[in-house]
Amino acid sequence: MTSTEATLLSDLHSIVGDRGLLTGTDVTLRSCDPFRAVPPEGPAIVRPASTGELSQIMALCHARGQRVVVHGGRTGVAGGAYAGPAEIVISLERMARIVEIDPVGLTATVEAGATVEAVQNAAMEQGLLYPIDLGAKGSATIGGTIATNAGGNRVIRWGMTRQNVLGLEAVLSDGTIVSAMNRYLKNNTGYDVKQLFIGSEGTLGVVSRAVLKLVAQPRTQLVAFLSLSSFQAVLDLLVRARRLQQLSAFEVMWQDYYAMVAGHDATRRPVDPSQPFYVLLELMGFDEAADQAAFNSLLEEAFDAGLIVDAVAATSLKQVGELWRVREGSEILVREMAPFISFDISVDIRRADAFAQAVRQALTTTFGEVKIVTFGHLGDSNLHIGAHIGSDTLARAHEIEATVYAVVRQFDGALTAEHGIGQMKRDFLPDHVDAGALTLMRRVRDALDGTRIINHDVLF
Amino acid sequence: MTSTEATLLSDLHSIVGDRGLLTGTDVTLRSCDPFRAVPPEGPAIVRPASTGELSQIMALCHARGQRVVVHGGRTGVAGGAYAGPAEIVISLERMARIVEIDPVGLTATVEAGATVEAVQNAAMEQGLLYPIDLGAKGSATIGGTIATNAGGNRVIRWGMTRQNVLGLEAVLSDGTIVSAMNRYLKNNTGYDVKQLFIGSEGTLGVVSRAVLKLVAQPRTQLVAFLSLSSFQAVLDLLVRARRLQQLSAFEVMWQDYYAMVAGHDATRRPVDPSQPFYVLLELMGFDEAADQAAFNSLLEEAFDAGLIVDAVAATSLKQVGELWRVREGSEILVREMAPFISFDISVDIRRADAFAQAVRQALTTTFGEVKIVTFGHLGDSNLHIGAHIGSDTLARAHEIEATVYAVVRQFDGALTAEHGIGQMKRDFLPDHVDAGALTLMRRVRDALDGTRIINHDVLF
């Protein structure tokens, strides 16, 4: 340890105390990546217990030119939490209180380190729902999901994290505390400064608290798993399903995905794997009779119109869980496909299958035989693709990515729909945003963190 | 005309041509205010026909240090369009094309000068709805409503303008074109730069084009006008109504408002004006039988619970219009109350009546006998208040405002819910936002328009 480093740790210790400062194996045994061991490479994890402590930490780091990387639940898949040897980690894990649930104003006031699941549980006790729903919700924190504008399974109904945040508090790189803890649906009092921090992947400041928007907890959940014989049938079904206000998920799986999951786990094979497309359709509502009637009509009309080949509807909460497990087969992908590169694209819904075919074509042309799985939140334009070209998949990651992202550009798609840029996609960012927009992003970052001490290697 | 001014006009003319440059009475006969004649005081209105022309205009003005004020439909009520003698006006009126309606992606691509109504009409031809609904929609433009993050009557269902914009293009003060014409519900490719321009009242750049989010056009519209005997009954009704996904408006009128409107127009008196509170409740949906059943149950259960004193339900589209006209009685206010100062507050829904009483108390204490009307989008926390203290109301506007805004601060309310700050509320802004947030706003504005040539006197 250098003497500069020793001084830094000592000064940080004087702000946060023993419990607030982790060093040694407390650092090296942590991972910055949800799938494998990628420890922070720097000397310390500092854990403020309050916004005041966080502000002091940032002011200190700013004065010293000390780079920091901010950690929430470390469930992000774009490398946004990776920390190099010259960076210390700031973790919000000790700021995890649920401060208030307001059942009339429909708000939750929380500290940034609270997990999404903890907020959901607190809301549920009041008959309310915080609708951001991710596989990682048990670990993912409110701060992390705000910083990355997390999406998930029910964006089609309730939007991304951005649409579910009313207010927040953040600490800028120089320690300035920005309080914008708005509780109202409507507030045009100056710039809506919270928007700067949502989805900026921590680069503009550290989110410390938030006011979240809650909705009434639906009382019904109706799920069907369907097979379809053409992509046009998928589109026609989506158009019909979107007419129902109860629609809460419209997840599509291409055969490559479904065959793999259903082929390796007999409990995840609700329908015969002989068709090119599979849809998990979910309605959530408040009136059992009306919702069931709407669900049945939709399915009957879709059958009558020849859109559906086969269908299974859940008749119990247990079956609801089983059908969702088909869609959430990532551990099978990891087992059967690893190593693979994953993609998180938005693309014109009408052209999603043409896009998937073009990706397969491009990868095959470049790499020969490849394994690909395609699935995603098609109702939101969002596809996930996993690609494996052989044992050299990781070594050739950049080539694989360049190949796929060239197709994304041809289709005018988005480089990342919900996972974000992190450190992993930053090389590709300039080719996927307008030059004027990139100039603007740089100007804003320069204005708020001119020396780039926060998440230095993230985004651009 | 000075020679500098003549040179400027000549240079502007060379960019936009004859049709693009208005001077003389074409300028002085226009108003920057929807309620009275407030002509621009500068020498010219320049009207670009394309983003390219707009960019050239901004680059020219930036090079000369020439201030500009941006005009949409000039329906804003906060003075954001007022232009002083040293300012030229840029109007987007010649950029009003509806470029595309995409019925599968559910998007409208439009130029900023298109009116809200023109977009709604184009969407309706495809069975779709652009849900921002304002009294001024025939004049208000997409650019203006984006710049001000306009709200209106159906925010409770579909959100503010911010929630209905997917992408936009804007021109910065130096002429840089920023294209962020995203068409996807999910796109985390770098900062969401469009958010900077939404609700920033034109101060960070000129919105030139936009991609708007459309929704399916509801097929049913059910409206009831109700009287209630207590504010608690209003709250209880709101909690019940919010359980219905069809809820599209929950407008509350205090007796002071309703008595004035119903007292001066017998066609706007659906129920007896003897109760302290009146609610206009609206459902919109897609299933006539189910929606009517939900509407009837809500009203029956509310009657049974003693929440409603009297109720009238519309049985025709004509009656729907008549009931909405009670809520939209602003021309009666202008006739009966003028001159008056209007307020646009967000406040904790639970405390809205206490707030209204405190405002009345404060104004009476300071000014003696006053006329006040209170109404608004209570389901969104948003109250509108009109206050008249006598013939010296306008002369004492600042005192009246200071009195009301002191109460707003006591109640931790928002200075403006939807109308914005403009030039009229800028003196009050610093007292109603956190110091750190204001610092941040200044840093962002300095980064994008350091010499403040756009909308110089707006916001701060």
From the number of C-beta atoms within 10 Å of its C-beta (0-12, 13-18, 19+), residue B339 rates as middle
pLDDT at A233: 98
According to DSSP, the β-strands at B128-129 and B215-216 are antiparallel
pLDDT at A310: 97
Which segments of B265-377 does DSSP mark as H helices, in order? Answer: 288-304, 317-327, 330-337, 352-367
- Percent of chain A exceeding pLDDT 90 equals 93
Q: How many CB atoms lie within 10 A of CB B233?
A: 22
pLDDT at A286: 87
Q: How many CB atoms lie within 10 A of CB B302?
A: 22
| Average pLDDT score over residue span B49-74 | 98
From the number of C-beta atoms within 10 Å of its C-beta (0-12, 13-18, 19+), residue A3 rates as exposed
Of residues B104, B148, B191, nearest to A188 (C-beta): B148
User: Quick check: A163 and A157 in contact, CB under 8 A?
Assistant: no
Alpha carbons B335 and B305: distance in angstroms, whole number? 38
Confidence of residue A326 (pLDDT cuts 50, 70, 90): very high
Of residues A185, A347, A433, nearest to B381 (C-beta): A185
B202-226: pLDDT as tens digits = 999 999 999 999 999 999 999 999 9
What distance in Å separates residue A214's CA from the closest CA in chain B?
12
A257-281: pLDDT as tens digits = 999 999 999 999 999 999 999 999 9
CB contact under 8 A, A245 and B434: no
CA distance readout (Å), B15 to A90, B7, B59: 52, 13, 11
Cβ neighbours of B187 in A, within 8 Å? 346, 414, 416-417
Residue owning tokens 């490719």: B189
What distance in Å separates residue A110's CA from the closest CA in chain B?
18
Cβ neighbours of A459 in B, within 8 Å? 190-191
B429-448: pLDDT as tens digits = 999 999 999 999 999 999 99
pLDDT at A183: 95
A87-124: pLDDT as tens digits = 999 999 999 999 999 988 899 999 999 999 999 999 99
Cβ neighbours of B105 in A, within 8 Å? 348-350, 381
Whose CA is closest to A286, among A73, A455, A128? A128
B53-62: pLDDT as tens digits = 999 999 999 9
From the number of C-beta atoms within 10 Å of its C-beta (0-12, 13-18, 19+), residue B328 rates as middle
Which of B129, B182, B188 is the mutation pick for testing A, counting most A CBs within 10 A? B188
pLDDT at A157: 95
CA distance readout (Å), A73 to A143, A213, B368: 9, 21, 58
Of residues B156, B286, B441, nearest to A190 (C-beta): B441
pLDDT at B417: 97
According to DSSP, the β-strands at A341-346 and A382-388 are antiparallel
Alpha carbons A444 and B449: distance in angstroms, whole number? 12
What distance in Å separates residue A451's CA from the closest CA in chain B?
15
**Cα-flanking dihedrals φ and ψ of residue B23, to 5°?**
-140, 180
Residue owning tokens 């009345």: B360
User: Helix, strand or coil for residue A95?
Assistant: coil
CB contact under 8 A, B184 and A460: no
pLDDT at A105: 86
Q: Residues of B45-54 as b/e, b for ≥16 C-beta within 10 angstroms?
A: bbbbbebebb
**Does residue B331 carry a pLDDT above 90?**
no
What distance in Å separates residue A345's CA from the closest CA in chain B?
8
Which segments of A127-193 does DSSP mark as H helices, in order? Answer: 142-147, 155-158
**Contacts with B, A 211-250, CB within 8 Å:** 216, 235, 239, 242-246
CA distance readout (Å), A404 to A151, A158, A344: 22, 30, 11
Whose CA is closest to B35, among B380, B386, B346, B324? B386
What distance in Å separates residue A25's CA from the closest CA in chain B?
34
Cβ neighbours of B446 in A, within 8 Å? 447
All domains in chain B, ordered by first residue:
3-91 (3.30.43.10), 98-216 (3.30.465.10), 220-330 (3.30.70.2190), 338-436 (3.30.70.2740)
Of residues B347, B438, B444, nearest to A447 (C-beta): B444
What's chain B's average pLDDT? 96
What distance in Å separates residue A186's CA from the closest CA in chain B?
5
With a CB cutoff of 8 Å and minimum separation 6, the contacts of A315 are: none
Is any Cβ of chain B less than 8 angstroms from the Cβ of A172? yes
DSSP assignment letter at B349: G
What distance in Å separates residue A85's CA from the closest CA in chain B?
25
B255-309: pLDDT as tens digits = 999 999 999 999 999 999 999 999 999 999 988 998 999 999 999 999 999 999 9
- How far, in whole angstroms, is CA B161 from its chain's centroid? 9
Whose CA is closest to B363, among B396, B333, B412? B396
CB contact under 8 A, A429 and B290: no
**Does residue B245 carry a pLDDT above 90?**
no
User: Helix, strand or coil for residue B313?
Assistant: strand
pLDDT at A2: 83
Token readout for B48 is: 């670009």
B354-363: pLDDT as tens digits = 999 999 999 9
CA distance readout (Å), A103 to A176, B61, B243, B350, B417: 32, 51, 13, 10, 21
For residue B273, whether the previous peptide bond is cis, meaning omega lies within 30 degrees of 0, is: no
Cβ neighbours of B380 in A, within 8 Å? 184-186
DSSP assignment letter at B256: H
Of residues B156, B186, B437, nearest to A193 (C-beta): B437
CA distance readout (Å), A405 to A371, A432, B10: 17, 9, 47
For residue A339, whether the previous peptide bond is cis, meaning omega lies within 30 degrees of 0, is: yes
Is any Cβ of chain B less than 8 angstroms from the Cβ of A348? yes
Of residues B172, B380, B443, nearest to A186 (C-beta): B380
Token readout for B25 is: 């009475």
Alpha carbons B108 and A147: distance in angstroms, whole number? 29
CA distance readout (Å), B154 to B125, B238, B380, B386, B456: 21, 15, 9, 21, 32
| Average pLDDT score over residue span A11-23 | 98
- Percent of chain A exceeding pLDDT 70 equals 100
Token readout for B388 is: 């008249």
Residue of B nearest to A422 (CA): B190
Alpha carbons B242 and B236: distance in angstroms, whole number? 10
Cβ neighbours of A377 in B, within 8 Å? 186
- How far, in whole angstroms, is CA B44 from its chain's centroid? 26
User: Quick check: B144 and B73 in contact, CB under 8 A?
Assistant: yes
Of residues B156, B180, B433, nearest to A189 (C-beta): B433
Residue owning tokens 């119109």: A305
**Does residue A1 carry a pLDDT above 80?**
no
A350-399: pLDDT as tens digits = 999 999 999 999 999 999 999 999 999 998 999 999 999 999 999 999 99
CB contact under 8 A, A192 and B198: yes
**Does residue B421 carry a pLDDT above 80?**
yes
Confidence of residue A78 (pLDDT cuts 50, 70, 90): very high
Which of B231, B440, B443 is the mutation pick for testing A, counting most A CBs within 10 A? B440
Is any Cβ of chain A less than 8 angstroms from the Cβ of B77? no
pLDDT at A243: 85
Alpha carbons B364 and A67: distance in angstroms, whole number? 56
pLDDT at A245: 87
CB contact under 8 A, B443 and A440: no
Cβ neighbours of A155 in B, within 8 Å? 185-186
Cβ neighbours of A106 in B, within 8 Å? 242
Residue of A nearest to B159 (CA): A185
Confidence of residue B50 (pLDDT cuts 50, 70, 90): very high
CB contact under 8 A, B421 and A189: yes
Is any Cβ of chain A less than 8 angstroms from the Cβ of B176? yes
pLDDT at B400: 98
